[in-house]
Amino acid sequence: MNHVKLLFFATIRDRMGTKSLDLELPADLTIHGLKDRLSEEYPKVKESMKSVLVTVNREYAFDEAVIPLNAEIGMFPPVSGG
């Protein structure tokens, strides 16, 4: 198993009702798999998971990336500039 720390920001934090979460994940889980798991376990964030920006150890990560051991994962709503 892989122990990770999830950090939630802005509206995702509001929907989760917490700023962070510690989870045990399968060793070969991808970012996409994590988003699916969160969508199932926390229905309030299901829509957010479709467009969430994810960082792994403070670097942006894509859905197909495998989550490394003991990672810190940040989840951000999409941002727009102007």
Q: What is the pLDDT of residues 9-46, one digit of tens each?
A: 999 999 999 999 999 999 999 999 999 999 999 999 99
What is the span of the domain harbouring residue 36?
Answer: 7-76
Q: Is residue 2 situated within a structural domain?
A: no
Residue 24: its pLDDT value, please? 97
Report the number of distinct structural domains present in the chain. 1
* Among the listed residues 51, 72, 71, 47, the one whose alpha carbon sits nearest the alpha carbon of residue 63: 51
15 is a domain residue: yes
Q: What is the CATH number of the domain that holds 64?
A: 3.10.20.30
Please give the model's pTM, rounded to 2 decimal places. 0.93
Angle at 41 between CA 38 and CA 46, to 5 degrees: 55
Query: 79 pLDDT band (50/70/90 cuts)?
Result: confident
pLDDT of res. 37: 97
Is residue 17 in some structural domain?
Answer: yes
Q: Please write the tens of the pLDDT for every residue from 52-69.
A: 999 999 999 999 999 999
* 25 token code pair: 């994940």
Neighbouring residues of 66: CB distance < 8 A, sequence distance ≥ 6 = 28, 29, 30
